[in-house]
Chains A and B, each alone.
Chain A
Amino acid sequence: MKHIIVELSHPPFGHEHTFAGLYVATASLSKAMDVTVLLRGDAVYTAMKGQVEPQRLIALPPTEQQVEDILALGGRVIAEAHSMEVRGLGPEELVEGIEVLSTQEIHDLLLNEGDHVVAF
């Protein structure tokens, strides 16, 4: 089984990148691939809990729900600790099930795991 790493670095709602990456992650899971989503930089906001009706208010899907769907489908979602710290985010503010890893651990994962990395 192929393992794809989807690396996100853009904020959730300002660009199409995050949605594009999350759709690739979900579609890959439904095609029986192993999927890891990496949230780095402003992409850590993608997994924030308590998003208030973005679909109704700004006509964009809630990324919180998309992250929960990826976890429910068996995907792994990882947020970079350093990116969270500099933005003042704690792990309790993220969707349950997100792993928080150090930059070194993420680099080890990028170099040692996964058949392909698709970055958005």
Chain B
Amino acid sequence: MVKEQKALACMLFSGPYGSQDADIMARIAERALDMGYGVKIFLYGDGVHAQMSGQRPKAFFNVGDALERIAKKGGNIKSCVRCSEARGYLDGGYDDDNERYISSKSLDAVRIYSLYGFIDMIKDAHTILTFGST
């Protein structure tokens, strides 16, 4: 019998570095991937700032690097287009080929997407963890 892959969905609602939410989420997501989980992450509200490219924290855990590692390991990372547009991340409209809104400021690992991206994650998830939203 083929064992069904467990699906973890994480929502990040606070920005990186102001709190440890993004750091903790990224560590859990990486661990879950290593354990064989399917991992999806949605950046929502100020959580979209975790997608900023070129993050260089002096002493803190680098959230941008962690998101890139997560994507390389097969994690699916999306961020809210409405929240991203409000915070200045968008350069253009939706790019059908790459299934994301165009942004020169966002990491390649993160696809800027509609909120339905999160709803689809909820539909598929066995477990949902939220970070920074309460």
A residues touching B (Cβ–Cβ < 8 Å)?
A: 2, 4, 9, 16-17, 20, 23-24, 27-28, 31, 33, 116-120
Is the Cβ of B13 less than 8 Å from the Cβ of A28?
A: no
Q: Of A4, A17, A33, A118, which is within 8 A of B11 by CB?
A: A118
Is the Cβ of B11 less than 8 Å from the Cβ of A31?
A: no
Interface of A is mostly: mixed
B residues touching A (Cβ–Cβ < 8 Å)?
A: 11, 13, 44-46, 82, 115-116, 118-120, 122-123, 125, 128, 130, 133-134
Name B116's closest neighbour in chain A (CB-CB): A27
Q: Of A4, A27, A120, which is within 8 A of B133 by CB?
A: A120
A16-B45, A20-B13, A20-B44 known; A120 and B118 CB under 8 Å? no
A23-B115, A120-B13 known; A28 and B122 CB under 8 Å? yes
* Chain A positions within 8 Å of B128 at CB level: 116-118
* Chain A positions within 8 Å of B122 at CB level: 2, 4, 28, 33, 116, 118
* Chain B positions within 8 Å of A118 at CB level: 11, 122, 128, 130, 133
Is the Cβ of B134 less than 8 Å from the Cβ of A2?
A: no
Is the Cβ of A27 less than 8 Å from the Cβ of B115?
A: yes
Q: How far is the CA of A118 from the CA of B82 in the complex (A)?
A: 19
